Chains A and B, each alone.
Chain A
Amino acid sequence: MKAPVVTGVGAVTPLGRDIRTTRDRLAAGACAIADVEAPEVPVRPLRSPAARIGTFTTEPEMPRSKARRLDRGSQYAVVAIRQCLADAGYDVKGREDDMGILLGSGSAGAGPLTDLERQMAVESPEAASPFLFPYTVANAPASLAAIELGVRGPNVTITQKDPAGLNAVFYARMLLADGRASALVAGGADEWNLTYHLAYERLHATRTQSTPGYALSEGCAVLLLEDEDSARERGARVLARLASIVSTGRPVSPHRRRTRATDVAETLGEALVDAGIEPDAVGRFDPRRVGLLHLSANGVPWMDEAERKAVELLFGPHPPPLRTIKHQIGENPVVGALQLALSALALGEDPSLGAAVVNVLGAGGNQITAVLTAP
Chain B
Amino acid sequence: MPQRSAVVTGLGAVTSLGNDLASSWAGLVAGRCGIGPITVFDPTGFRTNLAAEVRALPDAWIDGRLRRRLSRSDVLGLTAAREALAGSGIDLSAEDPARIAVVLGGGVSGLLDAENYYRDLLSKGFRRARPTRALNHPPDQTTDRIGELWGFCGPRATITTACSSSATAIGYAADLIRHGIADVVVTGGADSLGRLTHGGFNALRAVDPDPCRPFDRNRKGLTIGEAAGILVLEEEERAHKRGAPVRARFLGYGVTADAHHMTQPEPSGVAGARTITACLKAARLSPEDVDYVNAHGTATQQNDSAETASIKLALGERAHRVPVSSSKSMLGHCLCSAGGIEAVVTVLTVETGILPPTIHYEEPDPECDLDYVPNTAREARVRVALSNSFAFGGNSTVVAFGRA
Size bin of chain B's contact surface: 35 or more
Provide the bound-state CA to CA distance between A171 and B103, in Å. Answer: 11
Contact A159 B158 (CB under 8 A): yes
Contact B205 A130 (CB under 8 A): yes
Chain B, range 66-86, C-beta contacts under 8 Å to A? 69
Contact B203 A128 (CB under 8 A): yes
Provide the bound-state CA to CA distance between A118 and B126, in Å. Answer: 15
Contact A155 B161 (CB under 8 A): yes
Q: Return B221 CB to nearest CB of chain A, in Å.
A: 13
Contact B259 A43 (CB under 8 A): no
Provide the bound-state CA to CA distance between A151 and B274, in Å. Answer: 13
Contact A152 B256 (CB under 8 A): yes
Give the nearest-CB partner of B257 in chain A.
A155
Partner of A121, one of B101, B118, B256, B282: B118
Contact with B along A145-167 (1 / 0, CB 8 A): 01101111111111111000001
Provide the bound-state CA to CA distance between A137 and B336, in Å. Answer: 10
Give the nearest-CB partner of A141 in chain B.
B393
- Chain B neighbourhood of A251, CB < 8 A: 147-153
Of the A-B pairs whose beta carbons lie under 8 Å apart in the complex, a sample of 25, sorted by A's number, is A96-B259, A106-B138, A114-B118, A117-B119, A125-B44, A125-B199, A134-B262, A143-B161, A143-B393, A143-B394, A143-B395, A147-B261, A155-B257, A156-B395, A159-B158, A160-B157, A174-B176, A195-B118, A195-B134, A198-B134, A199-B135, A249-B144, A249-B155, A254-B148, A364-B148
Contact B153 A143 (CB under 8 A): no
Contact B393 A155 (CB under 8 A): yes
Which residue of B111, B258, B392 has the most chain A CB atoms within 10 A of its CB atom? B392
Contact B158 A174 (CB under 8 A): no
Q: Return A131 CB to nearest CB of chain B, in Å.
A: 9
Contact B119 A159 (CB under 8 A): no
Contact A203 B179 (CB under 8 A): no
Contact B118 A147 (CB under 8 A): no
Partner of B153, one of A117, A125, A126, A249: A249
Inter-chain CB contacts under 8 Å: number: 242
Give the nearest-CB partner of B200 in chain A.
A133
Contact A134 B152 (CB under 8 A): no
- Chain B neighbourhood of A196, CB < 8 A: 134
Q: Return B151 CB to nearest CB of chain A, in Å.
A: 5
Q: Return A197 CB to nearest CB of chain B, in Å.
A: 10
Q: Return B217 CB to nearest CB of chain A, in Å.
A: 25
- Chain A neighbourhood of B152, CB < 8 A: 249, 251
Provide the bound-state CA to CA distance between A130 and B201, in Å. Answer: 8
Does any Cβ of B come within 8 Å of A64's Cβ? no
Provide the bound-state CA to CA distance between A189 and B109, in Å. Answer: 20
Contact B393 A144 (CB under 8 A): yes
- Chain B neighbourhood of A155, CB < 8 A: 161, 255-257, 393-395
Chain A, range 106-145, C-beta contacts under 8 Å to B? 106-107, 113-114, 116-118, 120-122, 124-126, 128-130, 133-140, 142-144
Contact with A along B245-278 (1 / 0, CB 8 A): 0000000000111111111000000010010001
- Chain A neighbourhood of B118, CB < 8 A: 114, 117-118, 121, 195
Contact B259 A137 (CB under 8 A): no
Contact B256 A171 (CB under 8 A): no
Assuming A114-B118, A117-B119, A254-B148, is B196 touching A247 (CB within 8 A)? no
Contact A128 B158 (CB under 8 A): no
Contact A128 B393 (CB under 8 A): no
Contact A143 B392 (CB under 8 A): yes
- Chain A neighbourhood of B144, CB < 8 A: 249, 252-254, 364-366
Does any Cβ of A come within 8 Å of B106's Cβ? yes
Contact B156 A249 (CB under 8 A): yes
